[in-house]
Structure 1
Amino acid sequence: MAKPKSNILFQILSLGNQADTPFRVAYKNYMFNLFLLMATPFAFLVMCINFYIGEYTLAFFNVAHLSIFIVGYYISYSQKHLDYRPLLLFLGALIASYTAYVYKNGNEYRFLIMIVAAVVLCEKNWQYILFVLFVSLSFVAIRLEELPLSSMSAINIIEKTVKLLFPLSFFSICLYYFKEIYFKNQYKLETAYAELTKNKEERDRILNVVAHDLRSPLSGISGISKMMLADDKVVEDNKEMFRLIEQSAESTLRLISDLMHTNINSVEQYHFNPIELNKLVHQILQILVFTAKEKNIIIEANITKQKIILKADKDKIDRVISNLVTNAIKFSKPGSIVHVSLHANNDFAEIIVKDNGIGIPEYLQGKIFDLFTTAKRKGTAGEKSYGLGLAICKKILDVHEGFIHVESKEGEGSSFIVRLPLKA
């Protein structure tokens, strides 16, 4: 489940950003909001101090700064007049430069964070260059004003100017090239993301068409085959053919169903409600016991009597448990036993599905939860495997903040352990 973003600082930093906000726009919002978030408390505190000690002129400039910040918050919140953000930054630098030069209050040290903000906010390169020139020259002028220039030689003045200007220039040039590289890469990422989104939507559309157009005729084929199998007038040789037709139709239907469930990692597709896990596991096993009987397999259940209540999507958890037990039946030899247990402690509920089947080679165990994995094998009765089921289970459990793990040895069976958090 998604964790609510209740942190007030994160909410301020995220002003103007939505789920569909492009990368570059989002990062500009973050940088501008970070600048506001760092500067506002400082300006407010200094304003209070200046009012307290009677420095009303300086307090007035602090009010001017706060007014600029308020306008900035409005721009971030409304996402209107975004082009004015560099202007607000310039006005703030202008006020800081004037007060630092006239009143020697140290405001020039704000220039460094302003330059960092400008590298992201200034759309045009000339805007950034102009801003950097202004704050760099202002910084040098303020620092030189504190020196006894009248008693210094021209060489010394030039030396001091270079020493002050060089670090700022080097810092600004580095940021400028960072800006160029950063936004080029961001544009590539944004383009790639848009293409991925488009491909995902196209894939979902195709899958929906497949589900709609193939499910009905395949269900009809499966239904007709079952009717012919139940007809006593059909000879045994023909029944075998109808049995094969039915198995092929059911196998294809399962594949379509698995494909339709590969896109289930979005929280919006889940409906979390309190469920009684004991009851759900019991109901699933009651249904699957008939599947197990077809292979003369016994399902042995060990379900705790302690009632286990958790908040989850019932259908999705049903799919996880059904898939694991069905797999255990598929890969177990006829006449064997599949063990299903359910227990809980204060932190989580644990479901273990254990079989004594063919097991999983160690070199494949790291691949079985991958979507469209190559680690797929036929069941003991020749059942097909498409390599989707376990990947779907992992996606479902990830959204539930759960966990799935396998312990297996080739030829000796497998144990799948599922843990689901118990939350109030």
Structure 2
Amino acid sequence: MATTTPSHDVKDLALAKAGYKRILWADRDMPVLSTIRERFTQEQPLKGLRMSACLHVTAETANLARTLKAGGADLVLIASNPLSTQDDVSASLVEDFGISVHAIKGEDETSYYKHIAAALAHTPNVTMDDGADLVSAMIFIALNRLDDLHPEVRNWASTLSPEQRAGIAQNVVASMEETTTGVIRLRAMEKDGVLKLPVIAVNDAQTKHFFDNRYGTGQSTIDGVIRATDMLIAGKKIVVCGYGWCGKGVALRARGMGGQVIITEIDPIRALEAAMDGFDVMPIATAAKVGDLFITVTGNIHVIRDEHFAAMKDGAMICNSGHFNVELQLDGLAKLAKDVTKGIHPFVDEYAMPSGNRLYVLGEGRLINLAAAHGHPASVMDMSFAAQALATEWSLKNQGKLEHKVYNVPVAVDEYVAKLKLQTMGIAIDELTAEQTKYLNSWEQGT
């Protein structure tokens, strides 16, 4: 147990005992991160570092937080989604591990942004983001665009001098971004010339998106749907909006359970790939008329809109596994509906349409895998969070050399994580012979 109780805003510290067990259970399936934590404990590469992390507060994230603290970091952890927090985990991180946590499952918008302000008030040297909300707030403050901030953050920022506002971003060595949505937002900031700090796109690491996005999102999304609805996937028409790595994973798992999977896409290459992978491909306007379950995983806004809701059949279920609930035009759906019954079933809201049809929105349109289930399995998060920890260490080693742009995770870090993961799985691979290495690095020998 921690010797002192750090600052916190959690549901109930009495939940810590259950959270402690959950954290250690996840740790059993995260051997790569455990290996890194052992080295961090000895070497203290993050000593004296002030960190703020805006992530899903789950048992897996808790083991990342433990690793960062073991490396010497002074960490504040907040939730990146109002429904993704595991309250017992939050309590245990505070009580048992002495980590400052501001996160409550189901927190309202005011609490969410109050926690953003708490993370900023920590004056971090490194940040971790899952959707770029933390960095976005920093940028608005640095640009003195306080009117673009939520009142909770604006009220805090208004107490700072202009120099202090600029310093919020200037003091950051680097930020780690965990999601596709966040990387999209951050690259847009770089393009517009407003990015005020270096960013490491951890999401784009091969050991992250090839595995976390595909296998993690694929399995946990279907898990969330089933927990929320008890739906039998077999025989249902499952519409997956988006065929990036997350969409591929969801489609693969739905088909594996007997679902008749339909893909909607705006990218011709991905649409072609989906067709050649054996899926039906059609516009969302067409799919809306036949789908039983709709899952958005695009990272874009209003993928399913008013006209699509109006075309859906009775009993259609709609959910999102992209970062933000804006993928579904829920305000439009609420206006279309004659009546809305919240919580008709846990994590299910019913919308009664003028036609007499009933539509069901799962998890308030937020991440269904975290709203209604436990999120990604620990085994796959092992690699993602190992990359997070090592990318943090790399950014510190390169402090002062990084420009205000989005960087990929170094190949050496990616390969190191993959090698460690293979070792923990008891898998050996071949190595190039001297002759093969010479051949691959030469041009003289042809056919």
What TM-score, normalized by structure 2, do the two folds share?
A: 0.20
Bigger Rg, which one: 1
What TM-score, normalized by structure 1, do the two folds share?
A: 0.20
